[in-house]
Structure 1
Amino acid sequence: MVFFELLAAIMTLGVNQLMQSRYGALGLLCLFLLGVGVKARNTACLSAGVVVFALLMAQG
């Protein structure tokens, strides 16, 4: 169980660095909205995160 928690933490840090370096502040906002939406099962936050992600992917 500890192994999976450690693996999840490492993957989270890696994705965070990728989004921060390539997509900037909007990438971090996207990750935040998606994370809150999934954890709280809030469809409004999840939808907003998906829209921000789609805009980031469309630009480039």
Structure 2
Amino acid sequence: MLLFQVVRGLIELSLAMTAQARLGIVGVALLFVIGVGIRARRSGLAVGAAVLLALMMTQA
């Protein structure tokens, strides 16, 4: 269980750093919205933010 949490934290950190490097604060904000959508169990919010992040990453 601890290993899973450590790996998850490292993945979150690397995604945040990549998004910030490519998109600035907008990418980090979209990652935050994805996390909030998953935590609040609002799949529409999480999926919408993930799609926007993916589109912006391909355009950057």
Aligned length: 60
What runs of 5+ residues in structure 2 fail to find an aligned partner? none
Higher mean displacement: 48-57 or 9-18? 48-57
Aligned alpha-carbon RMSD (Å) = 1.9
State whether residues 33 and 48 of structure 1, in contact with CA within 8 Å, keep that contact through their aligned partners in structure 2: no
SS at match of 2:24: helix
Report the residue type matching 2:52 in the other structure.
V
Structure with higher RCO (Cα < 8 A, 6+ apart): 2
Residue of structure 1 equivalent to 2:9: 9
Q: Percent identity?
A: 32
Q: Does 1:33 align with 2:30?
A: no
What is the TM-score normalised by the length of structure 2? Answer: 0.76
CA distance in 1, matches of 2:33, 2:5: 21
What runs of 5+ residues in structure 1 fail to find an aligned partner? none
What is the TM-score normalised by the length of structure 1? Answer: 0.76
Flag the structure with larger Rg.
1
